[in-house]
Structure formats: structure tokens, C-alpha cells
Structure 1
Amino acid sequence: MMKKFTMKSIFAFLATAMLAMMLVGCGGEKKEEAKADAGKGEKWIVAINSTFPPFESVKEGTKDYQGIDIDIAHYLAKKMNKQVEFTDMKFASLVPTLQSGRANIIISAISPTEERMKVVDFTKPYYFPMKAIICKKGAGFDTMDKLKGQKAGASMGTTFVKDLKAVPGIDVVELDTTPLVIQDIKNGRLAGGLFDSSQAAVFVKQNPELELHIVEAPVLMGDTFAIALPKGSKDTEKLNALLKEMRTNGELHKILVEHLGEDATKQYEAATEKLDIAKL
């Protein structure tokens, strides 16, 4: 039997339907608004290459990252009210990843070379590395010239490759990671390799059959370590201020001591005091 509809019931039905549509519309707007705000300013995706101790490496037996750059990233993120998420990759992939927007920042012992500065922005340097040659103990490759006629290696995409190639007569080998360079020195495929001196100290400590020799050379801007940001980033000056704060409040000193040791840190800080470039 069909139910008879009155005008009153029809108006009631239409009113109910319109109210339901309004509620659905409001709910949809709230969902869109929430989606737009989700994660805004919360997560900081930091690109690293975790094969460069003591600046960044994976803690043995865990999936956790450790090192000077890792501690700096956590300090800066806390000050910037960000949650850190590290993304690990080959060194040569760092800049392309930042350019593509798959990372917000690079804190990974990266140098502000002229070529890189064309495509990304950098903070002022926070570390002024010295260079060192690693070779087998007793080999005595204590200068770059002594590597002439020999095979020497460095990690692909680093400034150390460029330094080796600048010396005529060195047969330069580029490898994917620094541990592979160390392995080839140990097994005799390479006579030596060029590294950051603090990194070299860690490798030699871990491999007593190796020795290191500091290469006496001025530290240029393209040799320093700085933080890379997307071109035109508004955070560059904020980070410059925070890095200066870390130097003056002793936080950077504590981080260096943690990963380099007290003696090495004192030697490094004494050396950087003599560098004009460190006073920028």
C-alpha cells in the first residue's frame, strides 16, 4: 500500500536533506583544511651519506645514525621546532635529492663548491677540515707528490677526488664509499687514499695496520663543511645564527669532543683559530 505524502511531510523531507548536505559539505571542508595543514613545519627531512665517520655513520648493531652532523642536526631541529627524519643515500645523490624536494636540507659534511652554489644555498661553514693521506703502516706516503706513479682513491663526488686529480702522475680511482677506499688500501689495490683528517683518525684507530699523514695546505671555502638548503631558502640566516650560537655556548665543542676526543678537538680548535676563513 502506497503511503500518502502531505505538503508538510514533503517540506520536512526537503529540509532534512538540505541539512544533511550542509553537514557533509562542512565536513568535507574541514577534512580539506586539516589535510592542507597536516605536517606543516613539523618534519625536517635531512639528507645524509652515512659512510663518513665521525660525521655520520650507522651505530653498530642498530639502525640509528650517529656522528657530528647527526648531533648538529638534532640541535638545530630542536631550536627550529622541527622533527628530524634522516634519509640516507650515496654522496653524489645528496644535491639532486635536495633539488627535487625529496629532502629539506643537507647536513652531511658537504662542501660549498662553486658548482654546488649555483644550484643550492649554503650556510656559513661550521667545520674547517684538514686533509690526510691514509696508507699502509710504513709506506710513508706523507705528501701528495709521493703518490705520483701510484694508484690513490677517494669517495666518488667528493672534493678529495678533485684534489688527487690536480696532482699530475696520480692514477685516481673513484669508489662509491669511503670504506671501500679503505678496503682497497688494506688489500693493496690502492697505495693510498685522501680523506678528511678527522675521518682518517677514526679509520686508522679501527685499522692499526694503517697510518695517516696530515697534508699541509690552506683551507679554502670549497673545502669547508656547510649546510645546504634549497635555492632561495628563508632559513639560511636563521641557521647561521644558530651555528654561531653553538660555537659561543660550547655546544659545538661538546659535540666535537664526543666524536673526535678531547685532544683532537683541542688541536682542531687551535688550528682553526689561525684561519682567516674561520672568522667569517
Structure 2
Amino acid sequence: MKMTQSSWRKQGAAIATTGLLLAGLSACSSAGSDSSSLETAKNSTVELSAQPNEAAINLLPQSLRDRGYIVNGVNAAQPPFEFFDSADTLTGLDIDLANLIGAALDLEVRTENAGFASLLPGIQGGRYDLAISGFGDTLERQQIVDFVDYVELGTSLMVKAGNPTSLSMSDLCGKKVAVVVASTQIQVVVPELDEACSADGKAPLNIIELPESSDPVVALASGRADASLINTAQGAYMSSQQPDQLELTDDEQVHKTYVGLALPKGSPLTQAIAEALNDLLANGTYQELLTKWGLDMMSVDQIVINGTKD
């Protein structure tokens, strides 16, 4: 059995930003029913494991089996998907998922941290064999990578605690809204909201694009932004850790879509990973993983490839 515990390395200023954010997160307690679930998940010591899956391994090319490892790219500023904990250890749902995939394929997983916007180019350029970093599966992204979709997730609106200006998803026209560059929110959700503003004769959203997934929290806290469009799982996690500073509005999630791990177009890994994950779903390990991180609401009934069709 090859080693499957992810190795990792820090890169640049992104880690400094993440470290400051997580220091603030760990100092706060959770509140409310959803928050309690997420807080429990954050402190969970549940250990998950997988056995080598011969059907999935047989789908791998011999060259990859001989190499013995795969390189996984992440942006470790996206709790609860991937982040550095108080012990400076890379953790999160996607990190556990990568290790389970490695165990099922009998391959070591070497995880590298990088800026979110650099991950898909890294896939295209051959730096990474895959990237598991909370990617929304969109038709635009399917033009350059393939996705193995493993959860379903939408976008929510995050504001300062107490929502002092009573914002909602329907009245963001002209407001300063923080989003992460290259995210589903900027690529899909913002154009839809801008179109609605235009139809009502109102100004478009005043978008503040930021490089790291933790940056919208800082923008909100400093008053630079009025609100942030954020994936629901990440927003729920962050607001549960800083209930005196952040909250999600009562709006329904918008643009609920598949989230997938990204691979090069036509990669032989794609079918092998889909086979491994469907087996983990069938034997209950997949559900245990989501429960560990308090993300049961994101579960799917089947692991699919490029599930977004329109």
C-alpha cells in the first residue's frame, strides 16, 4: 500500500492571509442549529479510510501506476473544503476526499497549495494531475477541463452580522459586492443579477474581485464591501465561526450546481476516479465524509462526469 496522506507546501502571501483569517475563526464559537453542525464538524476527529479498488486501478495507465503518485492542486483558503487548521495542518473535506481517492487507486497524493485562479491553468499546463478545490462545474470550464462531480452546491449572500442595511439577493443593484476572481459567482451569478438590475432600470452590482477565497471576509469586516456572494458551504462555515461579525441572509440559494474535481481533458484518471468515488458512495464512506464536515445537504445520488448540461 502506497502512502496516501497528502503532502503539501505553502506558497506566498496566500498563506499569510489564510493564517490570519483562521486565527480569527478559531477564536469564535458557533451559534444556531446549522452553526452547531459545522462547529462539530470542524472539531471532528473521525478517521476515514478506503481499500484499493481493483476495478478503478485497472482503469489507470501503467505509466501512472509505475509513477506511484498524483499531484493535487488546492487553494487552502476555502474552509470547510481546504484550509490550514490551528496546528498549521492542511485539512478539510477536499483533503479527506483526495486521500480517499489515493487509497482507492493505491497512489500517493501530493497536494500543493496555490492561488485559486492559477489552478485550472495549472491543470492545463500539466503541473497538476487534478485539482480538488470546490470548483463549480460550468459549461465554460468544461471547455478546458473535465469534472468528476461529487457534491451539489449553490450561492448565498453573506453580510455583516445583523444585516445592518437589510440587504437581500434581490436588492444588490449598485451595492459593493465582494467575489473571488474566476469563481462561479463572478462567472455565472453576477451576470444574472446584473441582467435583473438592468431590466429594472437600476445600476449593476459594484463588483470587487479579490484573489483569495478568504478575502471577502476581510472586505466585509473593513467596510470595503457591503456584501459577498459566496458558495453556501463556505459561507455557512465562516459565519458559524464568526457569528458576531458575519451571517448569511435568508435568501434561497441561487444557481445550485454541481461541484467537481477538475482534471485535464481526456485524462485517464477521470474514469478511474469516478469509479472509485461511486464505490465509496455505495459503501457509505462518501456519506460519512459529508457528515464529518457537516455538509450532508450537499450530497448527490451518483458521481457523474461533466454533470452540468445547460
Instruction: Report if TM-score (shorter chain) is over 0.5.
Output: yes
Q: Which residue does 1:240 correspond to in 2?
A: 274
1:132 aligns with 2:133: no
- Quote the offset at 1:213 in angstroms: 2.3
Contact 1:56 1:65 in 2 (8 A): yes
Contact 1:142 1:215 in 2 (8 A): no
- CA, structure 1 residues 38+240, in 2 after alignment: closer, same or farther (shift >3 Å)? closer
Q: How does 1:221-232 map to 2 (within 5 A)?
A: 223-232=257-266
Q: Which residue does 1:51 correspond to in 2?
A: 77
Rounded to whole Å, the distance in 1 between the matches of 2:139 and 2:64 is: 37
| Greater per-residue helix proportion | 1
- CA, structure 1 residues 105+268, in 2 after alignment: closer, same or farther (shift >3 Å)? closer
Rounded to whole Å, the distance in 2 between the matches of 1:236 and 1:214 is: 37
- Quote the offset at 1:112 in angstroms: 2.4
Rounded to whole Å, the distance in 2 between the matches of 1:39 and 1:245 is: 20
1:90 aligns with 2:119: no
Supply the AA of the counterpart residue of 1:178.
Answer: S
Unaligned residue ranges in structure 1 (runs of 5+) = 1-36
Rounded to whole Å, the distance in 2 between the matches of 1:39 and 1:232 is: 17
Q: Deviations over 1:85-107 (max 9, x none)?
A: 11111111011111111111111
- CA, structure 1 residues 218+45, in 2 after alignment: closer, same or farther (shift >3 Å)? same
Q: How does 1:16-55 map to 2 (within 5 A)?
A: 40-55=66-81
Residue 153 of structure 2 aligns to a residue whose secondary structure is coil
Which among 93, 114, 122 is matched to residue 68 of structure 1?
Answer: 93
- CA, structure 1 residues 142+151, in 2 after alignment: closer, same or farther (shift >3 Å)? closer
1:253 aligns with 2:287: yes
Q: Deviations over 1:136-168 (max 9, x none)?
A: 122265632222221001111101113124323
- CA, structure 1 residues 131+142, in 2 after alignment: closer, same or farther (shift >3 Å)? farther
Rounded to whole Å, the distance in 2 between the matches of 1:226 and 1:254 is: 18
- Quote the offset at 1:219 in angstroms: 4.7
- Quote the offset at 1:218 in angstroms: 6.0
Q: Deviations over 1:19-50 (max 9, x none)?
A: xxxxxxxxxxxxxxxxxx89833111001111
Q: Deviations over 1:229-279 (max 9, x none)?
A: 11211221221122222222221221112222xxx52x445xx67xxx98x
Rounded to whole Å, the distance in 2 between the matches of 1:142 and 1:196 is: 17
Q: Deviations over 1:33-74 (max 9, x none)?
A: xxxx89833111001111111001112232x21111110100
Residue 148 of structure 1 aligns to a residue whose secondary structure is coil
Which among 106, 130, 136 is matched to residue 111 of structure 1?
Answer: 136
Q: Which residue does 1:178 correspond to in 2?
A: 213
Q: Deviations over 1:78-130 (max 9, x none)?
A: 1111111111111110111111111111111112222221222222x211012
1:211 aligns with 2:247: yes
Q: Which runs of 4+ in 1 moved over 4 A?
A: 217-220
Aligned residues: 231
Rounded to whole Å, the distance in 2 between the matches of 1:219 and 1:146 is: 17
Q: How does 1:138-217 map to 2 (within 5 A)?
A: 138-139=162-163, 141=166, 143-162=168-187, 163-168=189-194, 169-208=204-243, 209-213=245-249, 215-217=251-253
TM-score, length of structure 1 as denominator length: 0.75
Rounded to whole Å, the distance in 1 between the matches of 2:166 and 2:139 is: 30
Indicate the structure whose relative CO is greater, using CA pairs within 8 Å and at least 6 residues apart. Answer: 2
- Quote the offset at 1:216 in angstroms: 2.4
Contact 2:154 2:231 in 1 (8 A): yes
Determine what percentage of the aligned residue pairs are the same residue: 26
Unaligned residue ranges in structure 2 (runs of 5+) = 1-62, 195-203
Rounded to whole Å, the distance in 1 between the matches of 2:64 and 2:268 is: 21
Residue 57 of structure 1 aligns to a residue whose secondary structure is strand
